[in-house]
Chains A and B, each alone.
Chain A
Amino acid sequence: MDNRPLISVEGLARRFGDSGQPAVFEDIWFGIDKGEFCCLIGHSGCGKTTILNVLAGLDSPSDGAVIVDNREIDGPSLDRAVIFQGHALLPWLSVMGNIAFAVSSRWPTWDRAKVQEHARRFIELVGLKGAENKRPAQLSGGMKQRVGIARALSIQPKMLLMDEPFSALDALTRGMLQDEVLRICADTQQTVFMITHDVDEAILLADKIVLMTNGPGAKIAEIVVNTMPRNERHRNDLHRHPQYYAIRNHLVEFLVNRSRAFDKEIAGVAYDPRRLKLVKPGLSAVNPPAEVVPLRHTH
């Protein structure tokens, strides 16, 4: 148990209702290293959000545990900041008020001026300078999510948890925010766990992509290592990278076909949920394949 990653998910399972009910997911094992950007991909209903909530400490598992820094988590913590899908800003507070609320929760002894100065730094970081006194209702969807990101970063957590943070945004705004998250995470060397069902988003942002099969009884199929180095991942020419289509096709193939029939796939084959296969589809393809699996909506 010495070389545990920063976050270690160990044997997680979650059942709802009576104990006779089948688990939404079970025997989930994976780890996230410090500074790593990890994406979880899977269909709706496989329990992705529940896993994130367990990591956040908002939900408790029926079985198993999450170990962070060699301690089992038993509740929410300021060390793990959450960026919510629906931004979850407090509508009666201004942008400054929302972030100051988080900052003064983190450092209760700070005086007002210090809290505001700290908050202002993070408002500027996400490019919202000048909007400090606006209420969330006066902001666009993208700006609201920026406030959510600034709020999460302002408490300087050990890791960021993001639940489909960009899914409610239009494509243009989503792209801009993805770039910004990429930049901020590189600057701050943040450890990130993010849920998404957008394959391209995962390839752009993640170092490691955890593939989850369909529920009930969902499990982790395998872990895809994004072999494209961070400094070669740019949204505008991602599709020109020699590894891109290989990784993308692998992910789409999983979501379209394998996620449904994974039980058949592992029948008779050695499958150990504790020692998952690390696949590197990007390295197997020097030349991009001619045929591209069309991306369908997965939710």
Chain B
Amino acid sequence: MATLKNSLGLRASLLSLLIFAAILGLWQIATMPTAATGPAVDPEYAKLVGNAAATGTKSSMPTPADIAVTIWGHLTDPFYVRGSNDKGIGIQLAYSLGRVLLGFGLAALVAVPLGFLIGMSPLVYRALDPFIQILKPVSPLAWMPLALYTIKDSAISSIFVIFICSVWPMLINTAFGVASVRKEWLNVARTLEVGPFRTAFKVILPAAAPTIMTGMRISIGIAWLVIVAAEMLVGGTGIGYFVWNEWNNLSIANIVTAILLIGLVGLALDQGLARITKLVTYPE
């Protein structure tokens, strides 16, 4: 079995590499400089992107090699600051991560206790259910104007947007996890005359922890999706702003670099929480 599993893993890795190579190959072919065939490009566009595209000798779409050079440039100097519009990609990512972690953390502080309350009290559950059902499907960005108007600070507004999008999955999962704690475990606590706080921390919390962590994992995924869009709106700093800025510079290589890094950071966030989820999961 072990060898079969190993060979499957090995074969999958090989296939992954092959797909990667094929993508790079196609990309290379598609972006190779072509011979000049006259002004095939729209003159408006040519004016916009400059001579390279207008003459048609080189696509403004970078080749894989260009991207590699750009990535290398970013990785060797991720934290430079050359004015407010030119900061290293590491700094931009750190801004975004900071906002996500802050908004997510605040959401956890609100959602977990409130979810506990909802899960323990059918009355509160029923009372809050309409609010949750209506607010949950709202795109978090729809809150942005309201946040900007009331908070009057774009950085805090983006944190608020992260907060509002992280809160729902955690709230719902916590409530569900708490409500579905097995009755017999609660009865054990009752027959041992365990007080409500000790029951909450020693029985309900560990019993619901895997469900709560699943909610957190969903939340951080959504938060990381939303931060890019939010920063495109509010501007200033962050990886979302970086992407938008590079679009204005028409630096596709930088955008592709940002996309890769956003994906990698998202993966790291997800895996980190998956690791914690595994720690609190118990086999029955």
State how many residues of chain A have any CB contact under 8 Å with chain B: 25
Q: How far is the CA of A90 from the CA of B193 in the complex (A)?
A: 16
Q: How far is the CA of A138 from the CA of B187 in the complex (A)?
A: 23
Are A81 and B191 neighbours in the complex by a CB distance under 8 Å?
yes
- Please indicate the chain B residues that have their CB under 8 angstroms from the CB of A93 in the complex: 206
Are B187 and A91 neighbours in the complex by a CB distance under 8 Å?
no
Pick the contact of B188 from A77, A78, A80, A90 — CB < 8 Å?
A90
Are A88 and B192 neighbours in the complex by a CB distance under 8 Å?
no
Contact status of A88 and B283, CB under 8 A, knowing A76-B193, A77-B193, A101-B202: no
Q: How far is the CA of A180 from the CA of B257 in the complex (A)?
A: 69
Determine whether B207 belongs to the interface, using a CB cutoff of 8 Å to chain A: yes
- Please indicate the chain B residues that have their CB under 8 angstroms from the CB of A75 in the complex: 190
Contact status of A86 and B193, CB under 8 A, knowing A91-B283, A135-B283, A137-B282: no
- Please indicate the chain B residues that have their CB under 8 angstroms from the CB of A92 in the complex: 206-207, 209, 280, 282
Q: Quick one: which of B117-158 are within 8 Å of A by CB?
A: none
Are A88 and B282 neighbours in the complex by a CB distance under 8 Å?
no
Are A58 and B191 neighbours in the complex by a CB distance under 8 Å?
yes
State how many residues of chain B have any CB contact under 8 Å with chain A: 20
Contact status of A78 and B193, CB under 8 A, knowing A58-B187, A84-B184, A90-B188: yes
Q: Which residue of A lies closest to B203 (CB)?
A: A90
Determine whether B284 belongs to the interface, using a CB cutoff of 8 Å to chain A: yes
Determine whether A57 belongs to the interface, using a CB cutoff of 8 Å to chain B: yes
Q: Which residue of A lies closest to B206 (CB)?
A: A92
Determine whether A70 belongs to the interface, using a CB cutoff of 8 Å to chain B: no
Q: Smallest CB–CB gap between B214 and chain A, Å? A: 16
Pick the contact of B284 from A78, A84, A91, A155 — CB < 8 Å?
A91
Proximity string of chain B (180-204) to chain A, C-beta cutoff 8 Å, 1 when within and 0 when not:
0010110110111110001000110
Q: How far is the CA of A76 from the CA of B187 in the complex (A)?
A: 9
- Please indicate the chain B residues that have their CB under 8 angstroms from the CB of A137 in the complex: 282-284
- Please indicate the chain A residues that have their CB under 8 angstroms from the CB of B190 in the complex: 57-58, 75-76
Q: How far is the CA of A106 from the CA of B189 in the complex (A)?
A: 11
Are B193 and A105 neighbours in the complex by a CB distance under 8 Å?
yes
- Please indicate the chain A residues that have their CB under 8 angstroms from the CB of B194 in the complex: 105
Q: Smallest CB–CB gap between B277 and chain A, Å? A: 13
Contact status of A101 and B192, CB under 8 A, knowing A58-B187, A88-B187: yes
Q: Which residue of B lies closest to A152 (CB)?
A: B191
Q: Which residue of A lies closest to B187 (CB)?
A: A58
Contact status of A90 and B191, CB under 8 A, knowing A137-B282, A137-B283: no
- Please indicate the chain A residues that have their CB under 8 angstroms from the CB of B283 in the complex: 91, 135, 137
Are A82 and B282 neighbours in the complex by a CB distance under 8 Å?
no
- Please indicate the chain B residues that have their CB under 8 angstroms from the CB of A76 in the complex: 190-193
Determine whether A102 belongs to the interface, using a CB cutoff of 8 Å to chain B: yes
Q: Smallest CB–CB gap between B39 and chain A, Å? A: 70
Are B282 and A91 neighbours in the complex by a CB distance under 8 Å?
yes
Q: Smallest CB–CB gap between A104 and chain B, Å? A: 9
9 additional A-B pairs beyond A58-B190, A91-B284, A105-B192, beta carbons within 8 Å, are A56-B191, A58-B191, A77-B191, A77-B193, A84-B188, A90-B188, A105-B193, A137-B284, A155-B192
A-B contact pairs, 5 of them (CB 8 A): A57-B191, A84-B188, A90-B185, A92-B207, A137-B283
